[in-house]
Amino acid sequence: MGRQRGAFKRLRMAEAVNHRDLGTFTGEVLVFGGPYSNLQAMQALIAEAQRRGIAPANMICTGDVVAYCADPVATVAAIRDLGCAVVAGNCERQLGRAAPDCGCGFATGSACDLLSDGWYAHADAQIGAADRAWMAACPDIVTFRHAGRRCAAIHGGLTDISRFLWPVSPASDFAEEIAAIVDAVGPVDMVIGGHCGIAFCRQIGDLTWLNAGAIGMPPHDGRPQTRFAVLNGDRVVVHRLNYDHGAAAKAMVDSGLVQGYERSLSSGVWPSEDVLPDALRRS
């Protein structure tokens, strides 16, 4: 689909999957994705977890800690200090290997592809060797048990880290990834994914596929709040995250990141829809 997708597929076939078993969780589990260098959102998410009494050991990030926004170094520091589990996103993999682009899976020459050159260069210029080494060591997949279910968390897909799986994607696309996950780590009852930036929950046969959304950018719904999810027993609840989006946008402007994503933080609308399936476009 995009300029990096085939490369990631070859990488996945050639390398063993980095799997980390987190054991059994009790109580609520908070899952979130895409901090995207949005320090204000990361801080708000940490405060929300504390308010709910959810410890870092019961929190999982589906990757892309660094992306569109202004504060990659501080956002990485915040999540590393928090100490929650972090699955590698394509941005972690690319920065970890000092690759020249984000590997997001955007179609070559698309608006999202062209815009990525600016924010990725901003992040690449700031992230240091220690953070790159941490990113390179992040697992491809984590598994855990909770409320009688065995769950797995990934970024986009296991066959392709930058695969876009949308709420309207064909069931066969999900089935392909589920088969790869089962082949790598054994049977699971739930998969938690990220990458596409839109939270949704979908039943694929007997398995629940949850995308926890992204905390660093709103889900193209015209509102500035972002998303995270909480597992509470057999219930899955997607929540809105309120944070100081005005301060996050100002930080982007002050950093020279004025490609349109800075407006998205307040408008809740992405600067381009070309990555989205037709059914999810606003116009």
221-234: pLDDT as tens digits = 999 999 999 999 99
Element (H, E) at 152: strand 149-153
Is the pLDDT confidence value at 203 over 80?
A: yes
Which one has a higher pLDDT value, 52 or 13?
Answer: 52
Q: Which of 160, 138, 170, 120 is nearest to 61 (CA)?
A: 138
Q: Are 195 and 215 in contact (CB under 8 A)?
A: no
Least confident of 6-10, 77-81, 210-214: 6-10
Query: What's the whole-model pTM score?
Result: 0.93
Average pLDDT over residues 2-8: 36
Domain assignment of residue 61, yes or no: yes
3-state secondary structure of 230: strand
- Written as one letter, the residue type at 93 is R
pLDDT in tens, 226-265: 999 999 999 999 999 999 999 999 999 999 999 899 999 9
pLDDT in tens, 38-48: 999 999 999 99
With tokens 């809740």, the residue in question is: 268
Which range marks the domain in which residue 113 is found?
Answer: 5-267
Which one has a higher pLDDT value, 42 or 3?
Answer: 42
pLDDT of amino acid 65: 98
CA 224 to chain centroid, in Å, comes to 18
Task: Return d(Cα 69, Cα 257) in angstroms, integer.
Answer: 8
Q: Which of 280, 262, 259, 4 is nearest to 111 (CA)?
A: 259
Domain assignment of residue 76, yes or no: yes
Q: How many CA atoms lie within 13 A of 131 on its CB side?
A: 22
Q: What is the CATH number of the domain that holds 67?
A: 3.60.21.10
Enumerate the β-bridge partners of residue 229.
31, 238
Task: Return d(Cα 20, Cα 86) in angstroms, integer.
Answer: 10
Domain assignment of residue 276, yes or no: no
pLDDT in tens, 60-115: 999 999 999 999 999 999 999 999 999 999 999 999 999 988 988 778 877 676 77
Domain assignment of residue 278, yes or no: no
Domain assignment of residue 26, yes or no: yes
DSSP state letter for 223? S
Q: Which of 34, 138, 130, 142 is nearest to 77 (CA)?
A: 130
3-state secondary structure of 134: helix
With tokens 């769950």, the residue in question is: 151
DSSP state letter for 57? G
CA distance between the termini of the chain: 22
Domain assignment of residue 212, yes or no: yes
Rounded alpha-carbon distances, angstroms, from residue 30 to 62, 68, 172, 218, 229: 11, 23, 28, 18, 6
pLDDT in tens, 164-188: 999 999 999 999 999 999 999 999 9
Task: Return d(Cα 218, Cα 272) in angstroms, integer.
Answer: 13
pLDDT of amino acid 109: 78
Instruction: Count structural domains, the chain.
Output: 1
Domain assignment of residue 185, yes or no: yes
3-state secondary structure of 72: helix
Domain assignment of residue 138, yes or no: yes
Q: Which residues contact 7 (CB under 8 A, 6 or more apart)?
A: 103
Mean pLDDT (the chain) is: 93
Q: Which residues contact 114 (CB under 8 A, 6 or more apart)?
A: none
pLDDT of amino acid 110: 74
pLDDT in tens, 114-159: 777 789 999 999 999 999 999 999 999 999 999 999 999 999 999 9
